[in-house]
Amino acid sequence: MVNIRAHVPIILDLEEDTYGQWRRFFSSVFGKFGIRDHIIRYAIPRQSDADWALIDESIVNWLYTSVCKDIRAIVVQIDDTAIDVWEAIEELFHDNSLHRAVYLETEYCSRLKTLADQQRDVGHPVFRCRKTTRW
């Protein structure tokens, strides 16, 4: 048995921007244990192979226990395979990419403004850069 928390120390959450890190940790785990074929759509599942099926169920469990309850409620299906869960999570984050991009840009600009205001408050205002024309 593998304690997935030792390899993937992140809980994937809709409210936090952890998808990239979470996905990278899992990609590393799949490579480390030689089980990447469980999350590749064109790989041939071997449900009749007891060892393969056990590993697949373990991956499903890892995925379910490494996401917040809101994500779990969206992606859980009866008789899921690892690829089913993996793709459902990917779709959840890719389908919302435009919304998340707008949210992140707004958050970024808000944070920059807050920092600029703090600089101004301590007597060191940040000046906007002006475009210059080169002759």
> Is residue 75 in a domain?
yes
- pLDDT beyond 90 at 92: no
- Relative orientation angle of helices 82-95 and 97-121, to the nearest 10 degrees: 50
- pLDDT beyond 60 at 25: yes
Domain count, the chain: 1
Q: What angle do CA 48, 29, 99 make, to 5 degrees?
A: 100
Q: What is the 3-state secondary structure (H, E, C) of the chain?
A: CCCHHHHCCCCECCCCCCHHHHHHHHHHHHHHCCCHHHHCCCCCCCCCCHHHHHHHHHHHHHHHHCECHHHHHHHCCCCCCHHHHHHHHHHHHHHCHHHHHHHHHHHHHHHHHHHHHHHHHCCCCCCCCCCCCCC
> Is residue 19 in a domain?
yes
> Is residue 125 in a domain?
no
Task: Quickly state the pLDDT bin for 26 (edges 50, 70, 90).
Answer: very high
> Is residue 88 in a domain?
yes
pLDDT in tens, 29-84: 999 999 988 888 777 767 777 888 899 999 999 999 999 999 999 999 888 899 99
Mean pLDDT, rounded, for 97-101 = 70
> Is residue 113 in a domain?
no
> Is residue 103 in a domain?
no
> Is residue 128 in a domain?
no
> Is residue 116 in a domain?
no
- Domain extent for 24: 4-95
Mean pLDDT taken over the chain: 85
| pTM, rounded to two decimals | 0.69
